[in-house]
Amino acid sequence: KEGRWIIDDRAGGIFKVNRDAFTSQEVFEQERSRIFDRCWLFVGHGSELKKPNDYVTRNVGGREVIFNRDRKGEFHVFLNTCPHRGAMVAREKCGSALAFKCFYHGWSFNNNGKFGTRNPAGVYPDDFGKDGSVDLARVPRLESYRDFYFINYDRDAPPLETYLAGAAEILDLVADHSPNGMEIVGGVQEYSIRANWKLLVENSYDGYHAAETHETYFGYLMKTIGDFDISQIQADSMISYGFDLGNGHAMIEGKAPWGRPIGRTIPVWGEEGKEAIAKVVAELEERVGPERAARIADRDRNLGIFPNFVMNDIMAITVRTFFPTAPDQMNVNSFALAPIGESAEDRKRRLDNFLEFLGPGGFATPDDVEALESAQRGYAASKFAPWNDISRGMLKEVPRGDDESQMRAFWREWTRRMEEE
């Protein structure tokens, strides 16, 4: 079928995306109402709010929000805007607060959102605020799955779990890494990229580009690990597959070709690391059974939950979410997720890898950013070169991780939502 945005010719094995989707101001505005105001958006992980009264502030889907727990420990997401005249009532990135006090005129709010300012007599009516009309406004929907918290600006959206479809099982796989649960480590990495946000969606589960774009990293691996064999990576990536998880969610999953703090493939961390990892795997087998343990420990995965949540469960686990501020600009929030209570040695390896590979100054992200920004500059010529081709592997029954089926799953859902009546 040939449409305004995509050419989806299943029989002919051709799939194209119109480059206006990456550059148009009109698309940017429609995405706000048709996608970001309707889909479930990741707001944070439960471990970021360990104790009652903890809070973090962030921008989700273009709006400033407070993700917090009240005195009783209940989770909330409020819009970070004072009901008086709009100023943001929480101005720190994170903290612990029994109440939020607006710095502009001093209105204050209990951490369950209730207006709590005492009135001087005769200034406001005696019952001012008693009806809840000047409480902090709440994001319409907040739901969690395995400690991943998502919000929805659409009151009538389907439940989170329904929306997650096949992606729920993948969140399970990661949540099950540890008997003690998982935690976000060390805050948030924030950076901007001068490219359309959908370029980062595609890149996050693009198995096709890795060997080419990240050649330097693989060269470095070979140098630092004496007996590391690059052909092993190539051989192993042959057995990675692309999955359409429903509702625009997609993933690539394959045999992990590198050591991970939880895996047992090539022992790139030496004999000592090998022993520690064997212990982790033994516990895993005991707890979730050998089959599931093998899927968790021996395979790695890059998951995209439509529209803008990415989890790279590869060496370390990176969670990313991003939002466009213009057709050619996005802000990225990136987190490291790790098992609670893992050994200090494993945690060190994990964080080293988190910084070294997918960190904003690591080996992979700068390469990827260069590719994304380069594509964005290329789209200035879209009048004469209007289409991206993402047909790779389209005729196959079982697409591989270096095919482009996962991107097609995203684009079909994106188009459906953009064209919906």
Is 251 in contact with 170 (CB distance < 8 Å)?
A: yes
Is 232 in contact with 239 (CB distance < 8 Å)?
A: no
The site partner of 256 among Fe ion, ligand FES, none (C-beta below 5 to 8 Å per kind) is none
- Note the residues at the interface with ligand FES (CB under 6 A): 82, 84-87, 102, 104-107
The site partner of 107 among Fe ion, ligand FES, none (C-beta below 5 to 8 Å per kind) is ligand FES
Nearest to 249 by CA among 325, 160, 174: 160
**Cα distance between residue 144 and residue 56, in whole Å:** 16
Q: Which residue is nearest to Fe ion (CB)?
A: 368
Question: Measured from the CB atom, is 206 or 346 closer to Fe ion?
Answer: 206
Question: Measured from the CB atom, is 102 or 200 closer to ligand FES?
Answer: 102
What is the separation of C-alpha 277 from the centre of its chain, rounded to a whole number of angstroms?
Answer: 26
Q: What residues have CB less than 8 Å from 126, skipping those under 6 apart? A: 119
Q: Beta 387-389 vs 14-18: how paired, if at all?
A: antiparallel
CB of 90 to ligand FES, least distance (A): 12
Binding residues with Fe ion: total (CB under 5 A): 2
The site partner of 85 among ligand FES, Fe ion, none (C-beta below 5 to 8 Å per kind) is ligand FES
Question: Measured from the CB atom, is 368 or 403 closer to Fe ion?
Answer: 368
CB of 366 to ligand FES, least distance (A): 41
Question: Measured from the CB atom, is 104 or 220 closer to ligand FES?
Answer: 104
CB of 80 to ligand FES, least distance (A): 11
The residue within the footprint of Fe ion, chosen from 48, 253, 313, 368 (CB under 5 A), is: 368
Q: Which long-range contacts (CB under 8 A, 24 or more apart) does 214-218 make?
A: 214/363, 214/364, 214/367, 216/363, 216/367, 217/357, 217/363, 217/364, 217/367
CB of 115 to ligand FES, least distance (A): 11
Q: Report phi then psi at 20, rounded to 5.
A: -60, -25
CB of 257 to Fe ion, least distance (A): 15
**Cα distance between residue 32 and residue 138, in whole Å:** 19
Question: Measured from the CB atom, is 87 or 276 closer to ligand FES?
Answer: 87
Question: Measured from the CB atom, is 111 or 365 closer to Fe ion?
Answer: 365
Backbone torsion region of residue 42, taken as left when φ is above 0, otherwise alpha when ψ lies between -120 and 50, otherwise beta: beta
Q: Which two tokens stand for residue 218?
A: 């693989």
The CB-side HSE value for 58 (13 A sphere, CA atoms) comes to: 26
The site partner of 102 among ligand FES, Fe ion, none (C-beta below 5 to 8 Å per kind) is ligand FES
Nearest to 342 by CA among 298, 288, 283, 302: 283
CB of 278 to ligand FES, least distance (A): 57
The site partner of 128 among ligand FES, Fe ion, none (C-beta below 5 to 8 Å per kind) is none
DSSP class of residue 364 equals S
Question: Measured from the CB atom, is 106 or 270 closer to ligand FES?
Answer: 106
The site partner of 368 among ligand FES, Fe ion, none (C-beta below 5 to 8 Å per kind) is Fe ion
CB of 358 to Fe ion, least distance (A): 8
Question: Measured from the CB atom, is 9 or 135 closer to ligand FES?
Answer: 135
CB of 104 to ligand FES, least distance (A): 4
Is 98 in contact with 53 (CB distance < 8 Å)?
A: yes
DSSP class of residue 7 equals E
**Cα distance between residue 366 and residue 351, in whole Å:** 18
Q: Cis peptide before 159, with omega less than 30 degrees from 0?
A: no
The site partner of 379 among Fe ion, ligand FES, none (C-beta below 5 to 8 Å per kind) is none
Q: Point out which span in 154-162, 173-181, 191-199, 367-375 binds Fe ion (CB under 5 A).
A: 367-375
CB of 86 to Fe ion, least distance (A): 40
**Cα distance between residue 374 and residue 208, in whole Å:** 17
Question: Measured from the CB atom, is 102 or 407 closer to ligand FES?
Answer: 102
Residues that bind Fe ion (CB under 5 A): 364, 368
